[in-house]
A and B are shown apart, each in its own frame.
Chain A
């Protein structure tokens, strides 16, 4: 049910690959966007042209698809999308030979996207898109996309992903979702939405305390904590069938942690042995192994993307701080030392860094720190409480929730804290956003 778009995307496939997808674009990063001096890519996206007259899905389709591409690329946070009013060159269908690159470089575009709509058969829509490097006067790719349903956002996501792949070596986060909790008084439930805040879907109807939604890395399941039985228990929802099963309902606390990279194991916080400890549950065999042994609170475990380490929160040194340990519970190491309330660790999918929330000047703000506990960076500074960071699959963005007075928001920002964008704002509490893996 939550994967409607996955199926749509399956129907959208690359039709023909004309031109040459730059080999170097796949092999190495065209431009290193993580370099300290990186500026956003200035990109001009032309409205697409109707190459053949005929029954297009609608007259607006060709401009709407360009608008959608602009919207998605803008969301990625690494493009400066130029205003089409500034374009000097007309948008008549043009071959690479006829493009006057100087007309584009003079308005500040480093890259140019042009495209056409073509009709094949009764309902088939083909979209052709071409990306140019304006500075070098080169075509970077020329690709055709076919979709029988004419699903406009799916075209736009596929094209946007190809642009990002060509320029950065990574397809970005366009085909992802964000799960989050909406809390109305003491009743909460889990919702999902697309990365651009469209298609919000209600995933649970528990109307109780519901917390900590976590995607399995294979995109098949969502695990979470719910009090629907009157007591905290951990549930696993199959995202295809919508079926829910209880995976942990021991006496005392049952809190959902995070999945192992192979989606086979789930970290949990349980108090069945009279103290909050971290356990790992093998989902197939339902066997449980205890990882921490400390007479203190151990909670919020997060598995590293390489599968070798677990970050967690413990108050064993007096206040809640972030610690790392091996997956067998050995080699416990504290990595946060600033401040006296650091919780909600989330591991970058590219490894290396851990985002968390910490209390500073009476506000919760998002920070990130490397695995050694060095190179601490504060990412949010505004007058809100910014909480629950979760990384995007590309590792380039972080979603988080913020509260300011009666306002509650889900926002995203670049991993360096720049370019904050609000995805959703509400009077109810929007909390605990969790970024999905990429859906294919």
Chain B
């Protein structure tokens, strides 16, 4: 990837330097120093090619930009579709008490309703994601987030979801749902999320 970028960079610098030359030195533009690079980029050495190279670079860039934009749009659409699908399925997050990983009574009902959805979509794997609020050590919170995901996973197993469909991942305190630094935000951030895939 890096190499690729360097090549593109080299190419662009080269194309630019050629235009400079064609501006001030006319057809003597192709100097010995650049002969090696010249071969890499373009088979012929006359001045008009220089212009073509420049255009080619521009076209290539436009093409790349277009593709990138399309890709980004596709990713956005996909994310939106997934979010919509999740909404349709009505999978809900569960929340935890400060520094605790045990499943709260209010979370049990949610897990039951989530388990029903998972049972109906029996082909899908379930990723249980554990999160923490911003207080405390990053490392300890990664462990705590994992603990939360594990507890939720175990609860789902007890409700009859096959362990082989479940995997866990902890994001510790690194991905808050609410960036604010107050009690309300922290309560929203101490959570487990469920992702079907």
User: Residues on A close to B: CB < 8 A?
Assistant: 186, 209, 211-212, 225, 231-232, 251-253, 255, 269, 271, 274-276, 297-300, 313, 319-320, 341, 343-344, 357, 359, 387-388, 431-432
Contact = CB atoms under 8 A, between A and B. Distances in A.
26 contacts: A186-B174, A186-B175, A211-B139, A211-B142, A225-B142, A231-B169, A232-B169, A251-B167, A252-B170, A253-B143, A253-B146, A255-B139, A269-B143, A274-B154, A275-B150, A276-B143, A297-B140, A298-B143, A299-B140, A300-B137, A300-B140, A320-B137, A343-B136, A343-B140, A344-B139, A359-B136
A274 B138 contact: no
Contacts of A269: 139, 143
Contacts of B167: 251-252
A232 B137 contact: no
Contacts of A231: 169
Given A209-B174, A232-B170, A271-B146, 20 more contacts: A225-B142, A251-B168, A252-B150, A252-B169, A253-B142, A253-B170, A271-B143, A271-B168, A274-B150, A274-B154, A275-B147, A276-B143, A297-B101, A300-B139, A300-B140, A319-B99, A320-B137, A341-B99, A357-B137, A431-B138
A343 to B, nearest CB: 4
Q: What 8 pairs between A and B have smallest CB-CB spacing?
A: A299-B143, A253-B146, A343-B137, A297-B143, A276-B143, A343-B140, A209-B174, A271-B146
A255 B170 CA distance: 11
Contacts of A212: 139
B144 interface: yes
A357 B137 CA distance: 9
Among A275, A299, A319, A320, residue most surrounded by chain B Cβ atoms (within 10 Å): A299
Contacts of A253: 142-143, 146, 170
A225 B174 CA distance: 13
B138 to A, nearest CB: 6
A432 B138 contact: yes
B171 interface: yes
A432 B140 CA distance: 13
Contacts of B174: 186, 209
A252 B138 contact: no
Nearest to A276: B143
Interface residues of B, number: 22
Contacts of A186: 174-175
Nearest to A274: B150
Given A209-B174, A253-B170, A271-B168, A297 B138 contact: no
Interface in B79-136: 99, 101, 136
A237 to B, nearest CB: 16
Contacts of B171: 209
Contacts of A320: 99, 136-137, 140
B150 A232 contact: no
A251 B172 CA distance: 16
A300 B138 CA distance: 10
Contacts of B150: 252, 271, 274-275
Nearest to B168: A252
B102 to A, nearest CB: 12
B139 A297 contact: no
A318 to B, nearest CB: 9
Contacts of A211: 138-139, 142
Given A209-B174, A231-B169, A253-B170, A344 B143 contact: no
B159 to A, nearest CB: 17
A319 to B, nearest CB: 7
A431 B140 CA distance: 14
Among B137, B146, B154, residue most surrounded by chain A Cβ atoms (within 10 Å): B137
A200 B141 CA distance: 28
A298 B170 CA distance: 15
A436 to B, nearest CB: 20
A385 B172 CA distance: 18
Interface in B155-187: 167-172, 174-175
Nearest to B172: A209
Contacts of B140: 297, 299-300, 313, 320, 343
Contacts of A388: 137
A432 B139 CA distance: 10
A51 B140 CA distance: 58
A408 to B, nearest CB: 13
Nearest to A270: B146
B61 to A, nearest CB: 23
A235 B177 CA distance: 28
A432 B141 CA distance: 14
Nearest to B171: A209
Nearest to B2: A205
A340 to B, nearest CB: 9
A276 B137 contact: no
A297 B99 CA distance: 11
Contact of B136 (A252, A275, A276, A341): A341
B139 A299 contact: yes
Nearest to A362: B135
Contacts of B138: 211, 431-432
A319 B136 CA distance: 12
A359 B172 CA distance: 18
Contacts of A341: 99, 136
A359 B174 CA distance: 20
A186 B168 CA distance: 19
Among B150, B169, B172, B174, residue most surrounded by chain A Cβ atoms (within 10 Å): B174
B99 A255 contact: no
A212 B174 CA distance: 14
